[in-house]
Amino acid sequence: SMVLPEVLLALFSTAAIFAYIDNRFMVFAVSATLAIMTKETAIAIPVTIWSIEILRWFLGRKGEAIKAALAAFVPVACWGAFLLLQKMAHGWYFFPLHTDYVSFSIDQIFSRWGYYVSFLLKGQGRFLWTVVLASALFVYLFNRRPKLVEGIIEDVRMVLADKRPLLVLWVFICWGLVVSMLNFHLGRYSLFLLPSLCLLVAQSFFVINEHLRIGFFKAIAVAVLLIMPLPFYASKMFNFDADMGFTNVVKVHTQAIEFLNRNYASGTVIMDSFPINLCMTESRAGYGSRTFQHIDRSCDSPEKVDAEVFIYTFPGNLEHCAPKKDQLTLKKEFKSSFASVLIYEKRQK
């Protein structure tokens, strides 16, 4: 099984943001340090605090701004010390394979920005969140007329001075997107922003709720928000890649390996590939204790591979190789809404 690092990153990031809002700077420093040591994307946290405190400095909150800015320096200092130790131990500051994914190309940056915004506001069935946010913005602008510009400026001054959660969460999401845009884009890379976005959607719903005068409509709105996302959870819309659908991958791999353990003896030669081969060769994964011999030659013709069993998986070798069905006999298939495992035996001549 696996736990995405973004899950832990989301926990520490959210804890750090709310510790900052509550002026609990020791808790903030610890949480932000744990976040940035989990994944470098958390650099968005101190940048968020510095951005807000620079503005609060000009509003006369200099004492609070200095204290918060110094607290935000702690995770950056710890991260810097770690990078120096990594340079001494391995000869590089950042893992070389990952630095190749970083790009400052304008075309790629805008492409990644579009991908992440689409994932946050529409992906996995979250289009209802977009409706709620847009509706709340409309209600806010409608209530600020006729002095729209003056009202917005006054509200910005107020939320800055009081360090309102609404402002901090929005700034954090914006900086999180900026950091993510520079890196290789996978949906899970922006998961750490979802708790903050969820809180903003909840706040937006309350804004709308105050202006829904009929209780029946309020009940319908709550029911829709709670019930409509449930069908997406088990669908391919939610489990759209190997990271987001990892529970499906674990499920079908477990079923497949149990089938192998029941029907084939230890030492059986199996043609398989990543990721299921790691499940069987790494005993600590807990899938099974039986030992098989493994060959990774997925795209070769079965007649050229000295193996008894052939395994094809999605995600995995099925993404670039197709089973030669004229040379293989399908013994068992395991499928979920996203992942699949096909187990073949070489056809006897």
**303-341 residue pLDDT tens:** 888 999 999 998 888 888 888 888 999 999 999 877 899
Tell me: pLDDT of 3 over 80.
Answer: no
What is residue 237's DSSP assignment?
T
Q: What is the reported pLDDT for 299?
A: 86
CA–CA separation, 277 and 275 (whole Å): 6
Q: What is the reported pLDDT for 215?
A: 63
How would residue 1 be classed by pLDDT, with cut points 50, 70 and 90? very low
Question: 266 is written with which tokens?
Answer: 């230890």
Give the pLDDT confidence of 186-228 residue by residue, as tens digits.
778 888 999 999 999 888 888 887 776 666 666 777 777 777 7
Partners of 295 in beta bridges: 271
Give the pLDDT confidence of 132-172 residue by residue, as tens digits.
899 888 888 887 777 777 777 777 777 776 668 888 999 99
Amino acid present at 35: A
Integer angstrom CA distances of residue 343 from 1, 197, 311, 314, 315: 21, 42, 5, 12, 14
Average pLDDT on 112-121 reads 86
Please report which residue ranges of the chain form alpha helices under DSSP H: 5-21, 25-38, 44-58, 62-90, 96-99, 106-121, 127-143, 148-162, 165-181, 194-209, 215-227, 230-233, 246-263, 276-281
Give the pLDDT confidence of 173-193 residue by residue, as tens digits.
999 999 888 876 677 888 899
Q: What is the reported pLDDT for 31?
A: 97
% of the chain surpassing 90 pLDDT: 32
% of the chain surpassing 70 pLDDT: 92
- Average pLDDT, rounded, for the chain: 85
Question: 99 is written with which tokens?
Answer: 């630095």
Q: Is 331 helix (H, G, I), strand (E, B) or coil?
A: strand
DSSP 39-80: -GGGGHHHHHHHHHHHHHHHTT-HHHHHHHHHHHHHHHHHHH
Of 90, 75, 98, the closest CA to residue 20 belongs to 75
